[in-house]
A and B are shown apart, each in its own frame.
Chain A
Amino acid sequence: MNLAGLKISEASKLLDERKISSTDLVKAVFERINKVEPKVKAYLKILEESALASAKKSDERRERDKSLSKIDGIPLSIKDLLCIQNVETTAASNILKGFVPSYNSTVVKRLQDAGAVIVGKTNLDAFAHGSSTENSDFGATHNPWDLSRVPGGSSGGSAASVAADECLGSIGTDTGGSIRQPASLCGVVGLKPTYGRVSRYGVIAMASSLDVVGPIAKTTEDAALLLEVIAGRDPLDATTLDAPVPKYSQNLDKNLKGLKIGVPREYFAAGVDKDVEEIVQQAIKKLKNLGAEAVEISLPHTDYALATYYIIQPAEVSSNLSRYDGIKYGFSTLADNKNQTLEEVYFSSRGQGFGDEAKRRIMLGTHVLSAGYYDAYYRRALKLRTLVKEDFEKAFKKVDIIITPVSPTPAFKIGEKSDDPLKMYLSDIYTVPVNPAGVSAISTPGGFVKRKNKDLPVGVQIIGPVLGEQIILQVSHQLEKAINLNQKPKL
């Protein structure tokens, strides 16, 4: 049996039936990593020793009928933006190279408390700034479906590790599409929960009013299994919502008869690749066959959402990244040259420690917040955010879910957009509006398009209201069954 290729739900059952052990499973994953990682480069750090130790403990618990949860003994990868106690956490940036957190992020703690085995930390665009994982200071990750292409980003390492069977599931973060877009480009499921549904404690901050942590998995059911472990209020993150966490995975088989699907006309305007659009239309058709009803809707401020996002997000980035000063932790020029003034240490440590994209965003954010520009940019963006949010609120009075493309194109070539930040930002157009609105959304594999003789996966975005995780998981699950894709990348 190919254990590394198992879904979480399948492995969990086999573990329960004592047909496999967690140690078998984790060893199989490391064998797979050894085989394909030189090509995919999904990981920044492999944690073989501690993973095998956790697997052994999980097996011992199971032996005593004391398993902690359905994911006890399941090998997972974690985006290197989440702190793991005593494990180097870099955000894929040089400025945090060598940083060892003295505490766990809440999400990692919850996974460990449920018995999950963490096999490694995955690559990302440094500080989660990007849509291709090319902005990593430690090298790009490659798309398992076509190694000359990007896996998407910023959680590109997480999505690639799941698609390549280098783990059974992963945790990513999403500020403007960083879970959904790489999930789409790698042919896996990626869920961006409602803002506040999952704790951000111990997650290196990008844009605090937009950042959300969520699962990337092989199936909707697996994503649901992970979400029910990590979701819920956390006293250490004051923005978490005090709403009960349903057993998402046990309530996926919903009859879709009468479900109202909104199809926003602004998302199907010029700009979306014809083949990508066809896959989304096919998905809508499949849901209609299951009894759902599709209606055209309008999200009238969609056109402004990207500009709004690219003002608010860098503003928050510039503030969050001001903590990297070369004094308290992280990269510093002080060690090499002690004859600097305090200000020189700030300027040179930040100048050398941050990559180009972080610098661009810090500068954009500093500019839109600076005296004389605050009203013209930042304040206007906050007002536009209200309109973008209201668009969704009004739409969800008429429909249950909204279906759109995830990304205008399938995976693009490595290097194709890396010198043109604006072009890269424009590829986020369908995922970005969800974050300022704070609503929930999932990317589900919808099909494949052929490019240069390679099959490239394309996802479909299902957007739900605030705390609409259950409904989007249900629709995603039904769609997955109706489309029934069983392809795996050939590596």
Chain B
Amino acid sequence: MLSRDDVLAVARLARLKLGEKQIEKFGQQLNGVFDLFKKIDQIKLEEVGETSQVTGLKNVLREDKVVSFKSKKLLDNVPDRKENLIIVPRVITEKE
């Protein structure tokens, strides 16, 4: 069971700001889904290997070629910028 504190902790890890109503609603809905996951506790898996992808491909490489992009087109998508620089709030703050 996910408690209210669990929901807040997950939202914090996921960098999501939730409203008061959402905290409650998501808590209930996520608990419903976790009930579905209980099923996987019923099976013995010690001897089974993990599958993270199905192609069997390994170390697929390609030539390291430079493909030039029109940087203006890329930068047009940036929410806040000055010429070719992306504006970001300051990360280092003075010690309070």
For A351-389 the 0/1 string (1 means CB < 8 A from B) is 110101001101110110010000001011111111101
CA A360 – CA B2 in complex, angstroms?
13
Q: A359-B22, A363-B11 are in contact. Are A304 and B52 (CB under 8 A)?
A: no
Q: Are A438 and B55 in contact (CB under 8 A)?
A: yes
Q: B77 to A347, Cβ gap below 8 A?
A: no
The stretch that binds B, out of A4-12, A42-50, A321-329, A452-460, is A321-329
Set of chain A residues within 8 Å of B13, measured between Cβ atoms: 366, 370
Q: How far is the CA of A239 from the CA of B79 in the complex (A)?
A: 32
Contacts of A370 in B (CB 8 A): 10, 13
Q: Which of A196, A342, A363 contacts B14 (CB 8 A)?
A: A363
Does B82 make an interface contact (CB < 8 A)?
no
Within 8 A of B (CB), among A97-150: 98-100, 102-103
Q: Are A241 and B33 within 8 A (Cβ)? A: no
Tell me, in angstroms, the Cα distance from A362 to B17 when the chains sit together.
12
B54 close to A389 (CB less than 8 A): yes
CA distance A387 to B45 in the complex (A): 9
Q: How far is the CA of A380 from the CA of B62 in the complex (A)?
A: 33
Residue pair A100, B73 in contact (C-beta under 8 Å) = yes
Distance from B4 Cβ to chain A, minimum over Cβ atoms (Å): 13
Known pairs A363-B11, A363-B14, A366-B10; A332 contacts B80 (CB<8 A): yes
User: Distance in Å from the Cβ of A206 to the closest Cβ of chain B?
Assistant: 15
Complex alpha-carbon distance, A198 and B63, angstroms: 21
A residues 292-319 with Cβ under 8 Å of B? Answer: 303-304, 306-308, 310-311, 318
B1 at the interface (CB under 8 A from A): no
Interface flag for A396 (CB, 8 Å):
no
Which residues from chain A contact B69 at a C-beta distance below 8 Å?
102-103
Task: Among A102, A346, A354, find the residue whose CB has the most chain B CB atoms closer than 10 A.
Answer: A102
Segment touching B, from A156-164, A333-341, A406-414, A471-479:
A333-341
SS class of chain B's interface: helix, strand, loop or mixed? loop
A192 → chain B closest CB, angstroms: 13
Tell me the complex Cα distance, A100–B73, Å: 8
Q: How many residues of chain B are within 8 Å of chain A by beta carbon?
A: 51
B60 at the interface (CB under 8 A from A): yes
Minimum distance in angstroms from A161 CB to a CB of chain B: 27
Contacts of A360 in B (CB 8 A): 26, 29-30, 33
The reply on A489 being an interface residue by CB < 8 A is no
Selected from A241, A326, A386, the residue in CB contact (under 8 A) with B49 is: A386
A263, CB-defined interface residue at 8 Å:
no
Asked if B85 is an interface residue, CB under 8 A from chain A, the answer is no
Task: Kindly state the separation between the CA atoms of A414 and B3 in the bound complex, as whole angstroms.
Answer: 31
Partner of B16, one of A235, A238, A362, A385: A362
B78 at the interface (CB under 8 A from A): yes
- Secondary structure type dominating chain A contacts: helix
> In the complex, what residues of B have CB within 8 A of residue A385's CB?
50-52
Whether B76 contacts A100 by the Cβ 8 Å rule is yes
Assembled-state Cα–Cα distance A334/B33 (Å): 34
Contact B30 A342 (CB under 8 A): no
In the bound complex, CA of A329 to CA of B86 (Å)? 10
Chain B residue, CB-CB nearest to A86:
B73
Residues of B within 8 A of A345 (CB): 89
Question: Is A171 engaged at the interface, CB distance under 8 Å to the other chain?
Answer: no
Decide if A351 touches B18 in the complex (CB within 8 Å).
Answer: yes
A429-463 at interface with B (beta carbon < 8 Å): 436-438
Q: For chain B, residues 55 to 96, give those with C-beta under 8 angstroms from any C-beta of chain A.
A: 55, 57, 60, 62, 69-70, 73-74, 76-80, 86-91, 93
> Is A422 among interface residues, defined by CB-CB distance under 8 A?
yes
Residues of B within 8 A of A (CB): 2, 6-7, 10-11, 13-18, 22, 26, 29-30, 32-33, 35-37, 39-40, 43, 45, 48-55, 57, 60, 62, 69-70, 73-74, 76-80, 86-91, 93
- 11 CB < 8 A contacts A-B: A322-B15, A335-B79, A347-B15, A350-B17, A356-B22, A359-B22, A362-B16, A363-B14, A366-B13, A385-B50, A385-B51
Top 3 A-B pairs ranked by shortest CB distance? Answer: A351-B17, A438-B54, A332-B79
Give A contacts to B, CB under 8 Å: 86, 98-100, 102-103, 195-196, 209, 235-236, 238-239, 241, 303-304, 306-308, 310-311, 318, 322, 325-332, 334-335, 338, 340-348, 350-352, 354, 356, 359-360, 362-364, 366-367, 370, 377, 379-387, 389, 420-422, 425, 436-438, 466
